[in-house]
Structure 1
């Protein structure tokens, strides 16, 4: 699939943009006139259209109107304009274009706009280590082997597990294992994040004029994922009224846009996910039983991070590698940092772990990351051990232990300096270190 249709008559600008897209591992068709681009868009399914407003044979507004009149919705479109063309750019936004950028512009700003416009457009080149494995624990290795085999079979799969365990990542891994289908679109949508009134449009799209504000035809995610994979996250939160329409689309392998009469065939792999117990949802009447059996041909449960501690340090090291690439500074965990990670309940699972590592890497000015850098909330009780603390005396001991450890690391384990910082004698510090079993082994 070609990612970008670029329409730019300026050879220097066009060559510069096309070269940058290539560096970003994006395929690009570059045209220097509007009519050639129009013919190409009618034949090729582009992820995004980028066009200068001023072109030699017709302006961008006329080209965009021609695309709309073709019947099929144009790809997401971003226009390039000079300062004097902003009024025309605003008119194009009203016609249905997604964004515009004013010359002169930084290429990074254009890429940022493209990332917002098409979140799945860019290859995940910043996370190559994570693409190879789902985890090193036996449960995740078992799931990975299963997904590798399932890639050859076009069956509906339901992932369950707590929020943040990596259900979408597993779905993407399965998509990549799917041979030719892996080269087709992977479209993900969160059913819980979309208001009920907009969910049908999100799934099935709408025709121009179907309702107030529908100024152009829009394809839903079913059409966008045609020949590829559609991932419906948090499907357990989908309203019952919408479940009926989803079931029909799955059974008939075709959809109808809102306001349309034509049935549009779709050929895709459906992957669903929920952080609820789907059986309990069915028993409580919150999820249709017939739909459950349709999406649950293969059920894969991803255990929470706290139940697979082998993965904690593995993922932490990968997240630190990503931060090092972004910031250009190496970071490593010391023993206290590793122990801190093991002690956390990780209710947010991988998502929470990643954010924790990112915060520490950004806020710390040191190469070594320890408990004090990871615990940006001071003495807030977040670990499983601390959650068990019931009385004030024990709580204060936890605070004291953490404070001593923080100051030891800050003073590079120099006992005299640490004692001075804490305002106690060296003897008192040694006694407290013995009491709390604090040592610099592994630091």
Structure 2
């Protein structure tokens, strides 16, 4: 998953003026691969009780103007030593300056559960997750906050009574939210939280032996704002078979299901763990909107599945062809949670040890044909060539317990958020910024 700000444009369609978003959820384009040396002075998570064995993590990040907002599971953050080293009580959400990286002393909402999604605008910060209250105010799973003070907007109410929201994006004048709640994928009024019913696709069915109910894990919107792709635990959409993956058109008066579907998405990976059976996890469009990349957990069953099913790997697919992937890069037995496609690279993160490992299993690199490149050792994060599908030399090594669920590509570089304590040997607990050269 990546984030990108939306703007509105006016397009003429069949003689009518239609408001469309000019840019959307695909990553900001980069002309080069980012540095493997993390920026100094960024804030860090603070583990107050190291004996409890609980891993802290940042799961969501977004930027509006000169302010970044980060959400996850934590209760204390700290400025870098160069910014004074002060510690701040922050309950699963904090803000910091995009230039100095100093933690905001005014934005300090108290969220009583994990924040999985953040969408920031000039007038509001929307947060989604697995929480019940914000600042003591009942706000199950979704809230709208003041971007300066963190105060809850009482006029915004999606009507949820619990559940979990995993992703949020403002697309034009619609706040699209996804997760376990309601219709699983919904377009809300960003001012009131009311469901506009613009997306009304009857998403249903759970993957056999999977954990939990019908859920959208992640979605991305193309740069034109005319199309959406989503992955998760579901079997049918609008009455059509769409196991784990859907493409939705956003051009009409009502969102509609696109016929694009790669049939092997419906096939299982080898995993039998209920958490991993619904294996597609992350997705991102290319900056030109011509292709997308999906990431996955699981393990391929046998040699016949290689370069067919996306299991414990990342795969590129062109919108012009739903019959085969352009490439699939396998880790050899470890999950890939998220991706950012910038044009210069396809960044991926998870808890893997390898890329370029199609014959591997159980996190081991295994001998393979001589015409293939050797396994590329990549700890927790890596970059793939968008054209060849092989690992680039970029290797900042980021050991992780589970791995990260989001990137944020900006014109200046790439934010990486996760449960990792270090990247490229430097302490960056929870988040790190990799600048463009």
TM range (shorter): under 0.3
Q: Under a length normalisation based on structure 2, what TM-score does the superposition of the two structures give?
A: 0.23
Instruction: Choose between structure 1 and 2: higher helix proportion.
Output: 1
- Which structure has the bigger radius of gyration? 1
Q: Under a length normalisation based on structure 1, what TM-score does the superposition of the two structures give?
A: 0.23
Instruction: Choose between structure 1 and 2: higher strand proportion.
Output: 2
